[in-house]
Structure 1
Amino acid sequence: MGIINKALAAATATAMLAGSANAACWTQAAYQAAQVRELDTMLMVQALRCRKTSASFLSSYNRFVQVSRPALIKANAELKAHFGGLNAYDNYMTTVANRYGAGTDGMDCGDVASVVRAGLAANGSAEKLYQVALDANLEPALDGSRCRGVTKAPLDIASRR
């Protein structure tokens, strides 16, 4: 093996190790996407739970989804990239939905209806939806820590050169 091939192999191995260690952490973009999906999932589950009450907001939730569709699609894409595959993403989203199956701590149907109204007022802005999630005290259950420092894998950075 020539010197160039050895150097290339070493650089590739180093980049793969650094990338895999960094993949476990959550970038700011992935974290915000998780917040937006947390918001949408909580609203969906609660809209179904509350549909037979006087505080039903199912039609408002459906409008929220229509207005927010581009931001929700973007959040899904960011999370799929974070998890590196559909199975891990599906497992994560199932876990999120299951957390809200028994209700939302500290919020009744009327409270959740006001969160839907705030979501509608965001007019599909991903940044504003992230803020609505923060205001509603929704905290995604992360399977790793938040990234510190460099948040892109070395191969991703190198590919832009």
Structure 2
Amino acid sequence: MRKFLCAAVAVLSAVSPANAGCWSADHASAARVRDLQTFLMVETLRCQAMGFNISADYNAFVRANRGAIGAANDRIKAFFIGSAGPVYGQTAYDRFTTSLANAYGAARTNADSCATARSTAAEAALMANSHEGLTMIADRQGLNPALPGGRCGQETMAVIGQ
């Protein structure tokens, strides 16, 4: 029984996104693009539930940026798989992306937030697979997802700045 419990603890800790390594600038940027997509997806669903249909703008964003969104997801998956291996890495990736959506689950939705999401989606649709353009929009929206393990070099920079 003790061996089983130790094995279970080892598996659960390997699966946790909190055990991921630090995030390079490239991986962190990919996470911001994914967070933008997630934010717009959740807001689209929330707006629809409130009677504001912005799905055409969201769908145009996804169609125009399918390549950039897919590349960002591939970078994030590679990060987790590189940190935890293929099986646990996929699970950690799934938990991470779910946590992005859950972060927006309790937000307030009203006509103003739906109008903001609609205009953000419309602007993002114009980026046409520009990772840099989508990152710029994520920055302007203040999207900065929690990165388990933190950004690489962050602790070093804090010491240097003191």
Class of the TM-score when normalised by the shorter of the 2 chains: 0.7 to 0.9
CA distance in 1, matches of 2:45, 2:127: 22
Question: What is residue 124 of structure 2 aligned with on the other side?
Answer: 119
**Matching residue within 138, 144, 154 for 1:139:** 144
- Deviation larger for 95-104 or 76-85: 95-104
* Equivalent residues of 1:55, 1:113 under 8 A apart: no
Distance 1:105 1:25, change over 3 A: farther
Question: What is residue 153 of structure 2 aligned with on the other side?
Answer: 148
CA distance in 2, matches of 1:104, 1:144: 29
Question: What is residue 31 of structure 2 aligned with on the other side?
Answer: 34
* Equivalent residues of 1:56, 1:113 under 8 A apart: no
- Secondary structure in 2 matching 1:133: helix
Residue ranges of structure 1 left out of the alignment (5+ in a row):
1-22, 150-161
How do 1:12-161 and structure 2 match up within 5 A? 24-53=21-50, 55-84=52-81, 85-103=89-107, 108-148=113-153
Instruction: Note the C-alpha offset of 1:104.
Output: 6.0
Identity %: 39
Distance 1:48 1:31, change over 3 A: same
Deviations 1:29-49 (A, max 9, x none): 100000000000010011011
* Equivalent residues of 1:46, 1:112 under 8 A apart: yes
Instruction: Note the C-alpha offset of 1:115.
Output: 1.1
* Equivalent residues of 2:58, 2:121 under 8 A apart: yes
- Secondary structure in 2 matching 1:143: coil
Instruction: Note the C-alpha offset of 1:146.
Output: 1.1
Give the alignment's Cα RMSD to 1 decimal.
2.1
* Equivalent residues of 1:36, 1:72 under 8 A apart: yes
- Secondary structure in 1 matching 2:123: helix
- Secondary structure in 1 matching 2:103: helix
Instruction: Note the C-alpha offset of 1:148.
Output: 2.4
Q: TM-score, normalised by structure 2?
A: 0.72
Report the residue type matching 1:65 in the other structure: V
Instruction: Note the C-alpha offset of 1:54.
Output: 6.0
Of structures 1 and 2, the larger Rg is shown by: 1
Q: TM-score, normalised by structure 1?
A: 0.72
Residue correspondences, number: 127
Which has the larger share of helix? 2
